[in-house]
Amino acid sequence: MKRFIVLPLLTLLAIPSPAAERTIPVKGRYLNIPVSHSAPRVRLMMEADGMDPMPFVVRLTDGKPDYWVFKDLSRLKGKKLTVSGDISEAALGAAYVADTIVGASSLYAEALRPQYHFTTARGWINDPNGLIWHDGEYHLFYQHNPYEREWENMHWGHAVSPDLLHWEELDDALFPDKTGTMFSGSAIIDTDNLAGFNRKGRPAMLAYYTCETGERQIQCMAYSLDNGRTFTKYKANPLIDSKEEWNSRDTRDPKVFRYSDGRYVMVLNERDGHSIFNSSDLRTWERKSHVTGFWECPELFELPVDGDPSNTLWVMYGASGTYMLGHFDGAVFSPVSGKHRYSAGSVYAAQTFNNIPASDGRRIQIGWSRIDHPGMPFHGQMLLPTELSLRTTKDGVRLVSVPVREVESLCMPLGSWQNLSQDEALRTLRQFDNPDGLRIRATIALSHATDAVISLGGARLVDYDMNGNMLNGMPYSPDDPTSMELTVDIFVDRASAEVFVEGGLFSYSFGRERRPGQDSFYIRGNRLTFKNLEISRVEPVWNRI
Ligand code: FRU
């Protein structure tokens, strides 16, 4: 768990200021709020007819802001919004309503804005939540603090996409309430109306989330009848409160899915591992089993081995990306191997989509990339969506992750070369120095059992130490241990890089410093040969929506 989560919210409060209240007629779409990181965090309350009162914490300033954040007021048009708290009248007066956000003209064009990885317009993001396909849309909900580029005020942000690449960011979907903030969880479509929220044949989207109250973490539900645009919280929440059973408040991040016999399964992280619950009405849940060895953000899903549907295994993982393979009967997961690691670096809290149509059949994952975007009004990004599969290797069955095929549509070929010497490869790469979005596919043959390094500016895209069995600082041995080759698929974005090795058997990701004009490629090695080198430009996704 991140250190800052355990800080009780109250310790973050400001030195008391005089209480102030302001009532604002909603005559525009956004409340623009100036934020300064030298201003203290103050706890305010937002209230209006038609919205649940919302407590939130913000570094509101009437001085010089570092940047502006906003609250979308579309749902409150024509109403009156009241904002109150222990803050000066002047600071409260600095926020204002308008039809545009401050910074609209540079939105998505900021110096460090990732070009093809999902980021939020304003604020902090962490875990993907409620990943689901429904009615032609992929939904990406995510942990969002809309009011600061640091972790706080957990909301569920919301974006939709037709293709997993071009995301339209909508208003937040779940807001903090008097009980607490909205921690991670998942979403399903209640096709059989088991929970009873469906209306006029329209199936409800159910969001299962953890409510962090400050003292405990309880499991709750909300339903939406408008494709996730707005949610109503279930009146009889919480569904599960297991603090006493575990003598721990670390009980969170419900992942719900339907098992093949029709029952619903919830995997919930409780203290030292993942518990499995069953439900037949989607409201009451019975704990069936528990698997120790995982922390936060549970996942559990079935995959065919080497594409054979008659031979499947279940994959269970936690937030770090370590996984076990095993068998699952709907109530009990029995591990047969692990824990293995398929991905490393910035990845955390990856989740897979529910409800992907059977005709598609893919297991698609999005992970949070824990990287910073210094000086920007946003922080954190999502990794590329990847397709997961199981492949038999010399060490047994392993999880494989490759970018979804849709990513190809962003890649514009710039050239393809074979059998280049190290110097020729370097000259070729240097033509593409200072990249914004670049994909480099290469098979590098080593002539000595030493190093192969490709770097860009200060960032080591590939740092293979064959002698030490290390790849970018992580233990790595190729599937064929005698191989003198390394095959990499490198995605460079403005502030990050993602590298898929050996067709996705291992991947890693990291933040990189963008140094305009000085981002040059460099290769180190002992007479390396690039058996293959393919370079593509990766198109930005923001200007297409
Ligand atoms: C993982 C996590 C989750 C929690 C969320 C809070 O990054 O700690 O366990 O629900 O973040 O933002």
Sequential DSSP letters for 366-397? EEEE----TTSSEE-EEPPPEEEEEEEETTEE
- Which ranges constitute the DSSP H helices of 56-101? 89-93
Alpha carbon distance 282, 251 (integer Å): 19
- The CATH number for 365's domain is 2.115.10.20
End-to-end CA distance of the chain: 35
Under the banding of pLDDT at 50, 70 and 90, the label for residue 458 is confident
Is residue 530 in a domain?
Answer: yes
Last residue in a domain, options 76, 102, 128: 102
CA of residue 294 to ligand 1 center, whole Å: 14
Residue 485 backbone dihedrals phi, psi, to 5 degrees? -125, 155
**Mean pLDDT for the chain?**
95
For the CA of 151, the closest atom of ligand 1 is: 12
For 148-158, what is the mean pLDDT?
98
* Whether 414 and 325 share a structural domain: no
- Which ranges constitute the DSSP H helices of 254-346? none
Last residue in a domain, options 380, 403, 426: 403
pLDDT at 13: 46
* Whether 367 and 454 share a structural domain: no
For 328-337, what is the mean pLDDT?
98
Using CA atoms, how far residue 89 sits from 41, 61, 385, in Å, is 16, 11, 45
Alpha carbon distance 49, 17 (integer Å): 27
* Whether 248 and 233 share a structural domain: yes
For 181-208, what is the mean pLDDT?
97
For 436-462, what is the mean pLDDT?
97
Last residue in a domain, options 102, 123, 149: 102
* Whether 445 and 459 share a structural domain: yes
* Whether 362 and 473 share a structural domain: no
Alpha carbon distance 481, 369 (integer Å): 30
pLDDT, tens only, 429-448: 999 999 999 999 999 999 99
543 pLDDT above the threshold of 90: no
Is residue 375 in a domain?
Answer: yes
Annotated active-site residue in 66, 127, 135, 372: 127
* Whether 378 and 461 share a structural domain: no
Is residue 544 in a domain?
Answer: no
Is residue 57 in a domain?
Answer: yes
* Whether 177 and 61 share a structural domain: no
Cα-based torsion angle of the residue sequence 23, 26, 30, 35 in order, rounded to the nearest 10 degrees? -10
For the CA of 154, the closest atom of ligand 1 is: 12
4 pLDDT above the threshold of 50: no
pLDDT at 191: 96
pLDDT, tens only, 488-501: 999 999 999 999 99
* Whether 385 and 424 share a structural domain: no
* Whether 124 and 30 share a structural domain: no
CA of residue 433 to ligand 1 center, whole Å: 37
Angle, CA of 18, 22 and 28, to the nearest 5°: 145
For the CA of 184, the closest atom of ligand 1 is: 10
CA of residue 154 to ligand 1 center, whole Å: 9
Is residue 2 in a domain?
Answer: no
* Whether 388 and 306 share a structural domain: yes
253 is catalytic: no
pLDDT at 15: 47
Q: Which of 221, 218, 202 is nearest to 264 (CA)?
A: 221
Strands 438-445 and 451-456, bridge-based pairing: unpaired
Full domain range(s) for residue 229 = 106-403
Is residue 372 in a domain?
Answer: yes
Under the banding of pLDDT at 50, 70 and 90, the label for residue 14 is very low
pLDDT at 11: 46
Is residue 1 in a domain?
Answer: no
* Whether 111 and 216 share a structural domain: yes
* Whether 152 and 277 share a structural domain: yes
pLDDT at 50: 87
464 pLDDT above the threshold of 50: yes
For 90-112, what is the mean pLDDT?
95
Is residue 491 in a domain?
Answer: yes
- The CATH number for 63's domain is 2.60.120
User: In the chain, how many domains are there?
Assistant: 3
**Percent of the chain topping pLDDT 90:** 95
Under the banding of pLDDT at 50, 70 and 90, the label for residue 17 is low
For 146-162, what is the mean pLDDT?
98
Using CA atoms, how far residue 190 sits from 138, 173, 256, 298, in Å, is 17, 18, 11, 21
For 65-77, what is the mean pLDDT?
97
Max CA separation in the chain (angstroms): 72
Alpha carbon distance 12, 43 (integer Å): 9
- The CATH number for 496's domain is 2.60.120.560
pLDDT, tens only, 387-419: 999 999 999 999 999 999 999 999 999 999 999
